[in-house]
Amino acid sequence: MVSLKDLSKRCGCSVSTVSRAFSNPDIVKEETKHNIFSVAEEMGYTPNALARSLKNTHSQTIGIIIPSIDNLFYIEVLKNIELELHKRDYKLIVSFLQPGIIDERAALEPIVSARVDGIIIFSDNRDNERYFKRIDKQIRIVQLFTRPYDEYDSIVIRDADGMELAADCLLKRGHRRILYFGFSDRVEGYRRAYRKRGFPVPEELIYIEDRPLTAEIFSEALQDHHPTAVLTCSLNSQTAIQTMIGQKIRIPEDISFISYDDSNWARIMGITVIAHPLETVTEHVVNTLLERIHCPQEGGITPVRIEIMPYLIERKSVRYLHSQADETRE
């Protein structure tokens, strides 16, 4: 194994200069640094990550708190973030919220105790404001998908715009009775799609659910309103699909269907979805967090605000109620 001493001898530099080239490259002359890196690559030298982190007082570790272990979308997000951090020589510590068992504060404490350099949170309220203020001088905080804290960086999806894409896709294909099961922060996109096309908004078809959708509620909605299409979010989509399969309702022959959030089951079943560009999201999250860790700013910091547009993936779950020629003329 090539040592730091071996590398310094080959480069004709002191051990301290070579060490600074890896630990604090900004203070090393460009020519010297370039020579050291070139020789290091040639010799196959890899700096010891643990020793470097101790010297720099960084643990090379990021914590993340996942809101739900049942939501497959969050597992996809977790996988992408871990892969991106691995490229940067960082490790990831994961904690899952469990309603009634592990709340956000309980999930935070072991992660903070591990002396992570940063935390990725999905908070939907400011319940732990005082706790975050205690730790935010040592641990950098980035919010993902939600933004209750104005003082911290955030990467969010333009969910209302995504829902507008989904509703408009159905409206263009002749659907007018679109049953909506989702969150209050996205429903405006549904309404906007109707208004832009000059149709009255069917408020009776809007079900804003703070709790997971049940098969009973979904079945009653189908019986009461006889929709031609259904538009749902995340876990609600799985419940809706399972209920329709159980009732032998065919998709799209009987009811068209769009899910907000892509997943393996949606791909397998050919479900049209609103998807998130997860690679873009991941890059922004990791870049923002590591920038804060390695380039700290004294005094007032202007939080980063990044908004990302979702996109439509058309598959086989939407039926045309008029010809495609009609759609072209709209």
- Note whether 43 and 9 are same-domain residues: yes
Instruction: Report the pLDDT value the prediction gives residue 296, as an integer from 0 to 100.
Output: 66
- Note whether 214 and 67 are same-domain residues: no
Residue 54 belongs to a domain: no
- Note whether 40 and 98 are same-domain residues: no
Residue 208 belongs to a domain: yes
More confident residue, 8 or 159: 159
The backbone torsions φ and ψ at residue 244, rounded to the nearest 5 degrees and listed phi first, read -65, -40
More confident residue, 62 or 1: 62
Instruction: Report the pLDDT value the prediction gives residue 129, as an integer from 0 to 100.
Output: 94
- Note whether 125 and 258 are same-domain residues: no
- Note whether 77 and 218 are same-domain residues: no
The backbone torsions φ and ψ at residue 256, rounded to the nearest 5 degrees and listed phi first, read -80, 155
- Note whether 153 and 265 are same-domain residues: no
Residue 41 sits in a domain whose CATH number is 1.10.260
Instruction: Report the pLDDT value the prediction gives residue 6, as an integer from 0 to 100.
Output: 83
- Note whether 191 and 270 are same-domain residues: yes
Instruction: Report the pLDDT value the prediction gives residue 324, as an integer from 0 to 100.
Output: 45
- Note whether 205 and 321 are same-domain residues: yes
Residue 263 sits in a domain whose CATH number is 3.40.50.2300
What is the rounded distance in angstroms from the CA atom of residue 257 to the CA atom of residue 278? 23
Helix and strand totals (H; E) in the chain: 14, 12
303 has a pLDDT exceeding 90: yes
- pLDDT tier at 329, thresholds 50, 70, 90: very low
Residue 52 belongs to a domain: no
- Note whether 126 and 211 are same-domain residues: no
Which of these ranges, 44-58, 79-93, 278-292, 294-308, has the smallest mean pLDDT? 44-58
Residue 56 belongs to a domain: no
Reported for 73-76, long-range contacts at CB under 8 A and 24+ positions apart, including other chains, are 73/234, 73/261, 73/262, 73/263, 74/122, 76/263, 76/278
- Note whether 318 and 205 are same-domain residues: yes
**Residue for token digits 């906007």?**
192
Instruction: Report the pLDDT value the prediction gives residue 163, as an integer from 0 to 100.
Output: 97
Cα dihedral sign, 160-166-171-172: positive
Residue 235 belongs to a domain: yes
Instruction: Report the pLDDT value the prediction gives residue 49, as an integer from 0 to 100.
Output: 47
- Number of domains forming the structure of the chain: 3
Residue 34 belongs to a domain: yes
Percent of the residues in the chain that have a pLDDT greater than 90, as a whole number: 61
Considering all CA atoms of the chain, what is the largest pairwise distance in Å, rounded to the nearest integer? 82
192 has a pLDDT exceeding 50: yes
Which domain range does residue 108 map to?
Answer: 61-157+278-309
Report pLDDT digits (tens) over 36-77: 888 887 887 766 544 444 445 678 999 999 998 888 888 889
> What element of type H or E holds 293?
helix 278-294
Which of these ranges, 11-20, 71-80, 139-148, 175-184, has the smallest mean pLDDT? 11-20
299 has a pLDDT exceeding 70: no
Instruction: Report the pLDDT value the prediction gives residue 53, as an integer from 0 to 100.
Output: 45
Residue 72 belongs to a domain: yes
- Note whether 175 and 137 are same-domain residues: no
What does the angle CA 234 – CA 274 – CA 146 come to, to the nearest 5 degrees?
60
What is the token pair recorded at 130?
Answer: 């005082």
Residue 125 belongs to a domain: yes
- Note whether 322 and 198 are same-domain residues: yes
What is the rounded distance in angstroms from the CA atom of residue 104 to the CA atom of residue 4? 43
Strand order in the sheet with 118-121: 91-96, 61-66, 118-121, 140-144, 153-157, 305-308
Instruction: Report the pLDDT value the prediction gives residue 1, as an integer from 0 to 100.
Output: 60
**Residue for token digits 């979904």?**
218
Instruction: Report the pLDDT value the prediction gives residue 50, as an integer from 0 to 100.
Output: 41
